[in-house]
């Protein structure tokens, strides 16, 4: 989203609100992130039951996740451009209403094609939401706390992964796979009222010429952040999507749920740590997170011979990964602050394309290297990302002296 002059100007020091985060509004945005992330990932927990109800196999039903990502990737940039002048709260309400409608349609689907259509439309709503949330959080917070505000708003992501998916899976096992989708719709309806009550409205971009992706990519720092996003998400997804066979290689195939719960809880800790320091140490935290994820993957590769390494390796992986979405969204918002909505939409598009690519790359690596060799590929993929971060000292991942106070 575009940052208007009033949003960029710090409040007078005498204003007590200038030093505080708008907690209620940020919790509402975090809940929106929770709904967005859980809508995307819930089918993974109820996939067999969904497939059985439509008479298709797991591989076919898995396309419910693929079409969601495709809907997001194909529409995030054009929709962000088209809605650039919309009031921000109106746009957020439209995105959340889209989730309420599409999750209800998914739950009520009687045919496989209907479910896929509903999921693709949910992906469109996600494209709007992800391109909006981080910038919205930054704009309603004091400028020196913008990174922390983004971290709070995106806390819904690890909560959805660590608690939402297991909870939705248990609910689906007990009452049928349609129930958790209906529950999500109900939560979203309540959220709409909360957004109206506590989230301040902000203007859209009133410039005569709408910002374009071509102009945004030319801003110094934007392209390097997108490259790091591509590499990081491909590397992470390649391992995460096939963590079950990796764990099976270590003799822990029956513990996948417990291991991923540990990953999710560690991700929440990682996000908290990043949120506490991002406004002062964005560059350092991004470098450290990259090294931690690479090191955790190498440690997990050794778990084939040393099973006791699995839990600490996955916990460290979650610790490093937990803050990465916040770090990357803050980095691109900082680099492209004059075109925040557009660069956030570009990040969303690259993220979803990388997620799809990561599944393909992971499958090829699994076939070529085996479950024991797959984790070794992650540090190789992250190496050029780390180099890009180190070289992006001036614009993409600025050092504190370059970024100025607070960064």
Whether 100 and 245 map to the same domain: the answer is no
Whether 243 and 309 map to the same domain: the answer is yes
CATH number at residue 25: 1.20.1250.20
Whether 238 and 363 map to the same domain: the answer is yes
Q: How far is CA 78 from CA 339, 343, 373, in A?
A: 14, 12, 40
Instruction: Identify the domain containing residue 91 by its residue range.
Output: 21-204
pLDDT of residue 4: 35
Whether 145 and 232 map to the same domain: the answer is no
Mean per-residue pLDDT, 124-138 = 87
Q: Is the pLDDT reported for residue 21 higher than 80?
A: yes
Whether 179 and 261 map to the same domain: the answer is no
Whether 25 and 81 map to the same domain: the answer is yes
- Report the C-alpha gap between 201 and 87 in whole angstroms: 7
Domain count of the fold of the chain: 2
Domain boundary among 178, 204, 230: 204
238 domain-assigned = yes
pLDDT, tens digit (0-9, with 9 covering 90-100), for 372-405: 888 899 999 999 999 999 998 888 788 765 444 4
pLDDT of residue 338: 65
286 domain-assigned = yes
The answer to whether the Cα torsion of 283, 275, 240, 348 is positive or negative is negative
Domain boundary among 186, 204, 222: 204
26 domain-assigned = yes
13 domain-assigned = no
pLDDT of residue 395: 82
Whether 232 and 141 map to the same domain: the answer is no
Domain boundary among 204, 224, 241: 204
Q: Is the pLDDT reported for residue 178 higher than 50?
A: yes
pLDDT-derived band at 27, boundaries 50, 70, 90: very high
pLDDT of residue 7: 37
pLDDT, tens digit (0-9, with 9 covering 90-100), for 216-272: 778 888 899 999 999 999 999 888 877 777 877 777 766 766 777 788 888 888 888
pLDDT of residue 187: 96
pLDDT, tens digit (0-9, with 9 covering 90-100), for 79-89: 888 888 889 99
pLDDT, tens digit (0-9, with 9 covering 90-100), for 139-176: 888 888 887 888 888 888 878 877 887 788 788 888 99
pLDDT-derived band at 8, boundaries 50, 70, 90: very low
pLDDT-derived band at 77, boundaries 50, 70, 90: confident
3 domain-assigned = no
1 domain-assigned = no
pLDDT-derived band at 181, boundaries 50, 70, 90: very high
Q: Rounded to two decimals, what is the model's pTM?
A: 0.73
Whether 75 and 183 map to the same domain: the answer is yes
Share of the chain above pLDDT 70, in %: 88
pLDDT of residue 15: 53
12 domain-assigned = no
Mean per-residue pLDDT, 334-362 = 79
Whether 69 and 167 map to the same domain: the answer is yes
pLDDT, tens digit (0-9, with 9 covering 90-100), for 185-218: 999 999 999 999 999 998 876 664 565 667 777 8
Whether 189 and 252 map to the same domain: the answer is no
pLDDT of residue 195: 96
Whether 388 and 324 map to the same domain: the answer is yes
372 domain-assigned = yes
Whether 272 and 403 map to the same domain: the answer is yes
How much is the mean pLDDT over the chain? 83
pLDDT of residue 405: 40
Share of the chain above pLDDT 90, in %: 30
pLDDT of residue 13: 45
């Amino acid at each position: 989203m575009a940052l208007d002059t009033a949003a960029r100007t710090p409040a007078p020091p005498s204003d007590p609100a200038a030093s505080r985060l708008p907690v209620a509004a940020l919790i509402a945005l975090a809940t929106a992130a929770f709904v967005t992330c859980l809508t995307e990932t819930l089918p993974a927990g109820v996939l067999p039951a969904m497939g059985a109800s439509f008479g298709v196999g797991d591989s076919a039903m898995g396309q419910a996740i693929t079409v969601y990502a495709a809907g997001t990737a194909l529409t995030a940039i054009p929709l962000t451009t088209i809605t650039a002048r919309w009031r921000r709260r109106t746009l957020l309400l439209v995105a959340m209403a889209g989730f309420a409608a599409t999750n209800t349609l998914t739950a009520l689907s009687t045919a496989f094609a209907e479910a896929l259509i509903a999921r693709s439309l949910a992906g469109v709503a996600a494209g709007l939401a992800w391109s909006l949330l981080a910038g919205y959080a930054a704009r309603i917070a004091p400028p020196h706390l913008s990174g922390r505000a983004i971290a709070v708003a995106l806390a819904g992501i690890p909560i959805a992964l660590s608690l939402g998916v297991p909870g939705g899976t248990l609910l689906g096992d007990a009452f049928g796979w349609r129930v958790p989708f209906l529950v999500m719709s109900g939560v979203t309806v309540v959220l709409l009222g909360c957004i109206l009550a506590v989230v301040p409205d902000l203007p859209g971009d009133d410039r005569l010429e709408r910002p374009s992706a071509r102009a945004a990519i030319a801003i110094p720092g934007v392209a390097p952040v997108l490259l790091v996003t591509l590499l990081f998400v491909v590397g992470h997804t390649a391992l995460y999507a096939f963590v079950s066979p990796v764990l099976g290689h270590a003799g822990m195939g029956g513990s996948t749920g417990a291991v991923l719960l540990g990953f999710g809880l560690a991700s929440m800790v990682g996000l908290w740590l990043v949120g506490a320091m991002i406004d002062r140490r964005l560059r350092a935290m991004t470098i450290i997170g990259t090294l931690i994820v690479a090191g955790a993957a190498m440690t997990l590769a050794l778990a084939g011979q040393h099973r006791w390494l699995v839990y600490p390796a996955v916990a460290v992986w979650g610790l490093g990964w937990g803050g990465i979405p916040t770090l990357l969204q803050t980095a691109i918002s900082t680099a492209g602050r004059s075109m925040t909505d557009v660069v956030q939409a570009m990040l969303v598009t690259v993220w979803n394309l990388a997620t799809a690519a990561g599944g393909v790359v992971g499958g090829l690596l699994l076939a070529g290297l085996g479950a024991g060799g797959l984790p070794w590929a992650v540090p190789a993929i992250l190496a050029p990302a780390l180099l890009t971060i180190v070289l992006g000292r001036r614009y993409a991942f600025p050092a504190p002296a370059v970024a100025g106070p607070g960064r």
